[in-house]
A and B are shown apart, each in its own frame.
Chain A
Amino acid sequence: MRVKVIVTLKNGVLDPQGKAIQQTLNGMTFDNVSEVRQGKYFDIDVNESDENKAKSQVEEMCKKLLANLVIEDYKIL
């Protein structure tokens, strides 16, 4: 089955790319954009039919590789 994961920066962690995107949007007349935070999205195909098992494996993957918990949070969709 396919598991979807989103990795985002924790609140308070500087996101210079998000900031640059926000400023660009403001310059493009989208001047009501007050903040942009950039993250990562993963589609992971796991050879496992049990949804709970697949998600718990993906959770391990998030902790060990996909996210760096010093600065990032993950969310399994």
Chain B
Amino acid sequence: MKSSVIIFPGSNCDRDMDVALKKFGFENQMVWHNDAKIPKCDLIVLPGGFSYGDYLRCGSIAGKSRIIKSVIDFANSGGLVLGICNGFQILTETGLLPGILQQNKYLNFICKNVFVKIKNKENKYFKKIDKDVLELHIAHNEGNYFCSNDELKSIEDNGQIAVTYCDHKGNEDEKNNPNGALKNIAGIFNKDKNILGMMPHPERMIDPFLSGEDGSLFFNNLIESL
């Protein structure tokens, strides 16, 4: 299986993602944001970081970069597109995913492990993961998911909520909402579930000696599903 990780000026999780994808069997290639086309692949990843220094709004400038047109074409043809953290912000700014990631409610940069509940397993990203709650890492200043009431109803009706912040038992309450996100939303799909954007970083949880292994479950499932 082939994957492409796109590097924007200011991406800083691109190499971690490269390591993670290769560890679980992907043949990964790095693609520069100013390239015109993405090489043939089965998965495109928009990595975390601070593309263009988060100028204007997080992900807004990257969302207009040259490579994005081919990301949109790939996504619209059913290809898998995964956006982590800043990648999630870029996906909302391109319009591939609904809503927006606003500044965290309490104005602080959050860098810690959190638990997230998998809300929908009828998709390639979570299909064969046995657990319902994963421990993953977040590191962001703008992770406060927001959308209009109509949009929220539509994403709920279509099963587009992918993961929500919760405690280790899966309780999705305000206490376990680190950034003020609407309905504790940590990640969402598009309607067809081929595009996933989420704030937590699975690529940081792939080594039992350094962090944890719930990210391994994510990547193992991903390569098996493809």
Q: Check if A26 is an interface residue, CB within 8 A of chain B.
A: no
17 additional contacts, CB 8 Å, given A13-B102, A68-B60? A13-B146, A14-B102, A14-B144, A14-B180, A16-B104, A16-B106, A16-B180, A20-B107, A65-B56, A65-B64, A70-B99, A70-B100, A70-B147, A70-B148, A70-B151, A71-B102, A71-B146
Closest A-chain residue to B180, C-beta based?
A: A14
A17 to B102 Cα, complex, angstroms: 11
Q: Check if A5 is an interface residue, CB within 8 A of chain B.
A: no
Q: Check if A66 is an interface residue, CB within 8 A of chain B.
A: yes
Within 8 A of B (CB), among A23-77: 65-66, 68, 70-71
Residues of A within 8 A of B144 (CB): 14
Residues of A within 8 A of B100 (CB): 68, 70-71
Residues of A within 8 A of B3 (CB): none
Question: B residues within 8 Å of A by Cβ?
Answer: 56-57, 60, 64, 92-93, 98-100, 102-107, 144, 146-148, 151, 180
A60 to B185 Cα, complex, angstroms: 31
Q: How big is the A interface, by class?
A: 10 to 19
Given contacts A65-B60, A68-B57, A68-B93, contact A14 B104 (CB under 8 A): no
Question: A residues within 8 Å of B by Cβ?
Answer: 13-14, 16-17, 20, 65-66, 68, 70-71
Taking the closest CB of chain A, its distance from the CB of B160, in whole angstroms, is: 15
Taking the closest CB of chain B, its distance from the CB of A73, in whole angstroms, is: 13
Q: 16 A–B contact pairs at CB < 8 A?
A: A13-B102, A14-B102, A14-B105, A14-B144, A14-B180, A16-B103, A16-B106, A16-B180, A17-B103, A65-B56, A68-B57, A68-B100, A70-B92, A70-B146, A70-B147, A70-B148
Report whether A17 and B107 are in contact in the complex, using a CB–CB cutoff of 8 Å.
yes
Name which of A13, A66, A68 has the most chain B CB atoms within 10 A of its CB.
Answer: A68
Report whether A14 and B146 are in contact in the complex, using a CB–CB cutoff of 8 Å.
yes
A65 to B103 Cα, complex, angstroms: 18
A71 to B182 Cα, complex, angstroms: 14
Report whether A16 and B99 are in contact in the complex, using a CB–CB cutoff of 8 Å.
no
A71 to B100 Cα, complex, angstroms: 8
Residues of B within 8 A of A65 (CB): 56, 60, 64
A66 to B56 Cα, complex, angstroms: 7
Residues of A within 8 A of B56 (CB): 65-66
